[in-house]
Amino acid sequence: MAAGPYNYSYIFKYIIIGDMGVGKSCLLHQFTEKKFMADCPHTIGVEFGTRIIEVSGQKIKLQIWDTAGQERFRAVTRSYYRGAAGALMVYDITRRSTYNHLSSWLTDARNLTNPNTVIFLIGNKCDLEAQRDVTYEEAKQFADENGLLFLEASAKTGENVEEAFLDTARKIYQNIQDGSLDLNAAESGVQHKPSSPRGTQLSNDQPTNKEGCAC
């Protein structure tokens, strides 16, 4: 059920994008289950995960869509970008080709989300320092030039995984607070859920979904 045993004030929609094999599903699994999935299979189409976090005393439910990396699936995963408040764009620091493709992923993210969508660049597999193929400085410069938040992380050790998901939420929340993200705008990717009896919530659901939730 939407609320479950918890109460939360907001729902933020995230997408995770990037080349196949960079560790998108492993990052999601590490974030939602706090475990590393060693034999993580490929994702077909999209998969979905959720977790409730807290930012500035507000409970926020993250709805995270993990997309398939293979090029041919982009035709179906693109429809999930719409209405995302946050986009985690992932590459593998040990495979330069996954870094070289970032501009294509970024173009999709920019074209298919709204101007306020927070885009967070994650260089995954930073535990594999010996096999590094992309320097931190180079990626940091790319992130700065394109106005992206950036961290190197490891789904295996858990390093910086929480930070990436939470920093994205903090930035979205800050955008709400300073008024740059209009909750009433179509496809803001954020739903405000005032704590209320269930019946009221249900009647509020319909119009909000049409605007806020993708597809």
Nearer to other proteins, 70 or 146 (CB): 70
Q: Which residue reads 């408040």 in tokens?
A: 85
Candidates 34-42, 100-108, 113-121, 124-132; binding stretch for other proteins (CB under 8 A)? 34-42
Sole binder of other proteins in the list 40, 53, 166, 183 (CB under 8 A): 40
Candidates 33-41, 111-119, 131-139, 145-153; binding stretch for other proteins (CB under 8 A)? 33-41
Nearer to other proteins, 73 or 136 (CB): 73
CB of 5 to other proteins, least distance (A): 15
Which positions from 1 to 30 touch other proteins by CB under 8 A, shown as an x/- string?
xx-----------------xx---------
CB of 26 to other proteins, least distance (A): 10
Sequential DSSP letters for the chain = --STT---SEEEEEEEE-STTSSHHHHHHHHHHSS--TTPPPP-SEEEEEEEEEETTEEEEEEEEEEP-SGGGHHHHGGGTTT-SEEEEEEETT-HHHHHTHHHHHHHHHHHS-TT-EEEEEEE-TT-GGG--S-HHHHHHHHHHTT-EEEE--TTT-TTHHHHHHHHHHHHHHHHHTTSS-TTSTT-SEEE-----HHHHHHHHHHHHHHHS--
Sole binder of other proteins in the list 30, 63, 98, 154 (CB under 8 A): 63
**For binding to other proteins (CB under 8 A), which residues are involved?**
1-2, 20-21, 39-42, 44-48, 50, 63, 68, 70, 72-73, 75-76, 79, 202, 205, 209, 213-215
